[in-house]
Structure 1
Amino acid sequence: MSTFALVSVHSRARELLPGFIVSLIVAAAASFLSEHYDAPVMLFALLLGMALNFLAADSSCKLGIEFTARTVLRIGVALLGMRITLEQIAALGWKPVALVVTLVVVTILVSVVAAKLMGFQRLFGMLTGGATAICGASAALALAAALPNHPQKERATLFTVIGVSALSTLAMIIYPMIANGLGLSPEQAGVFLGATIHDVAQVVGAGYSMSTETGDTATVVKLMRVAMLLPVIVCAAMITRMQGADPAGKRPPLLPWFAVGFLILACVNSTGWVAPAIQGFTNDLSRWCLVVAISALGMKTQLKELAAVGLKPILLMVGETVFLVALVLLLMHWGL
């Protein structure tokens, strides 16, 4: 029996390896271009992946690309838990926590309603709203993994990743100017940047471009938004369950395994027993898993399908971004 299992595993690995290696090469190229041109790595991974979309139809690569876009993505999301500690959140007090919870819940609800009014599926609103409110491309990928299957889900996910990456880059440049223009203190500026910019890397870049104190505060507030990923994934999983079983007849779990992994790693990281080197390695591994997965997703996408999305989704995402900025400034004015 063990020999049969080994043969089965070996056979499965041979099927998956070509597609996974191609995704890894695309991710490595995207990382090189990102460092060279100082631009979002997710965006490069998507664009390079889409340029090689013919490989997803190739029999030798198809299974590996499917596996990478699904399973490697979920591993990367689970590893995000190592970025968070309860001590970091407690150090800022209750006000930033209340602000983050409020902005995430309100932004997602408004996005779902806006998406419905604009003629989209509610799930598209949850996808774009979650990406805007939580942590950009990582949240979009995590939510897509938890939401029910839909013919347009992959296209919607890729569009969201592209949109949120572009908006996050713009925010990194513009939002520090807004903070200076409003005369915010270093701590207030950190809360503003951490609560509004989409991706973690851009929050770090914007925060530390202003001051060390602003950068530290912005990073912790941003990680609090990342922590909101878990309850939002659970809500997405509950929606999936309420919509019934999938075509294979399997009822999706209330708490997906990658969400359990996220929670466990966040708890382990909160103990203070994890060495900084291990934290750094896990964070790098998480980033690589997400970049490799988005490369695979890009290869599964047809450019003409993405071009057919139209103007309305762009307006939806820009509107969500502007709404988030206005909401955060309002909440800060009220003392949160």
Structure 2
Amino acid sequence: MQTADFARTKVQGLSGFLRLNGQGFLVSAVVAAAAQFLSEHYGAPAMLMALLLGIAFHFLAEDGPCKPGIEFTSRTVLRFGVALLGARISVELMVGLGAGLITVVVAGVIATILFGLLGARLLGRGWRFGLLTGGSVAICGASAAMAISAVLPKNEHSERNLIFTVLSVTVLSTVAMIVYPILTQTFAFNHEYSGVFLGGTIHDVAQVVGAGFSVSDQTGEVATLVKLIRVAMLAPVVLVISILVRRYAEDGEADGKRPPILPFFVVGFLIFATMNSLGLIPAAVVDLMSSLSRWALLISIAAVGMKTSLKRILDVGGQAIVLIVAETIFIAILVLAGVVLIGH
């Protein structure tokens, strides 16, 4: 009898959860599917399309039955997608690249984040914005922006800054995908060094793949590997930010709640990366998890877009644009210098 009552309670709880969040999640999924269709048929970045389409449906997040589900999707589904990214990482992939080139990539990530903090300070922007833009440029574009945003203390500008960052890094990645392969030819890089430069500088994974394989198959493979090394740094960077925020953020800055020392999605990322490194996840399952991760992030960014009005994005100011462009140029110059030095 107690078992039946327990089961009934669980079913009622699940039913209530679906009634509350189902409509908002479904509308986010429909927007994401439309964005994927546009990406496949017209070559536009799927993340960018999901973001812009989401902004067009902003009215759904203001009030009504979709609002709770959009909130849930922009927060929880996002973290689920980031956790699944860990399945793409393995130690074996990184070992073959060599200590010198790995050092260049890791140094580029750390230096770009520090540059973002310094640039934000010089331009009169908050430290949150410096971390958000610097981390997204340094690591993996929109995915990093969403993961970092999840552990930063929230204020009235948080969603606006996230949308601006995702929009900016996606556009800049698309430009880099076209321009950077030309630079590798200008500097007469071989396939390996071209791959390191492209994978170490372009923000989003899809654009790295596009740029790398436009040069050669070998360059594409190296570029993808280098990009995954940057993605692998997402977990430690988010962990360090979480610890520092928890320790140094001003009282009340996080809406009365301190972030956990180790967010659950970072734990998931690390567990999946470890399992993949140990060969415990079959290749077919890795592919499935990668696909689920991509769709979860696409759906969540559509929801984030719905939560933000276009007017608020335009209020971000010219200094923000200067900062994120400067960060993009900074990591490009840094990685380019490292590749040239190692090459000689």
TM-score by length of 1: 0.97
Q: For 1:259-313, what per-residue CA distance to the aligned partner results, in whole angstroms no more than 9, with x for missing partners? A: 0000000011112232222111111100000000000000000111111222221
Query: What secondary structure sits across from 1:59 in the alignment?
Result: coil
In the other structure, the counterpart of 2:268 is 261
Query: What secondary structure sits across from 2:66 in the alignment?
Result: helix
In the other structure, the counterpart of 2:29 is 24
* Alignment-mate amino acid for residue 332 of structure 1: V
Instruction: Tell me how far apart the structure 2 counterparts of residues 247 and 263 of structure 1 sit (CA, whole Å).
Output: 25
Q: Could you list the runs of 5+ residues in structure 2 that have no partner in the other structure?
A: none
In the other structure, the counterpart of 1:192 is 197
**Match runs of 1:1-336 below 5 Å:** 2=6, 3-242=8-247, 243=249, 244=251, 249-335=256-342
Shift of 1:147: 1.2
Q: Could you list the runs of 5+ residues in structure 1 that have no partner in the other structure?
A: none
Shift of 1:328: 0.8
* Alignment-mate amino acid for residue 125 of structure 1: G
Structure 1 residues 205 and 248: CA distance shift in structure 2, 3 A: closer
Query: What secondary structure sits across from 2:140 in the alignment?
Result: helix
CA RMSD of aligned residues (A): 1.4
In the comparison of the two structures, how many residue pairs are matched?
336
Instruction: Tell me how far apart the structure 2 counterparts of residues 250 and 192 of structure 1 sit (CA, whole Å).
Output: 41
Shift of 1:96: 2.1
Query: What secondary structure sits across from 1:60 in the alignment?
Result: coil
Work out whether residues 114 and 125 of structure 1, in 8 Å CA contact, stay in contact via their aligned partners in 2: yes
Q: For 1:165-218, what per-residue CA distance to the aligned partner results, in whole angstroms no more than 9, with x for missing partners? A: 000000000000000001111111011111011111111111111111111111
Query: What secondary structure sits across from 1:151 in the alignment?
Result: coil
* Alignment-mate amino acid for residue 327 of structure 1: L
Work out whether residues 46 and 294 of structure 1, in 8 Å CA contact, stay in contact via their aligned partners in 2: yes
Shift of 1:8: 2.3
* Alignment-mate amino acid for residue 302 of structure 1: S
Work out whether residues 15 and 60 of structure 1, in 8 Å CA contact, stay in contact via their aligned partners in 2: yes
Work out whether residues 245 and 252 of structure 1, in 8 Å CA contact, stay in contact via their aligned partners in 2: no
Q: For 1:53-86, what per-residue CA distance to the aligned partner results, in whole angstroms no more than 9, with x for missing partners? A: 0000232011000000000000000000011110
TM-score by length of 2: 0.95
Shift of 1:149: 1.2
Question: What percent of counterpart residues are identical?
Answer: 51
Instruction: Tell me how far apart the structure 1 counterparts of residues 43 and 283 of structure 2 sit (CA, whole Å).
Output: 26
Work out whether residues 148 and 240 of structure 1, in 8 Å CA contact, stay in contact via their aligned partners in 2: yes
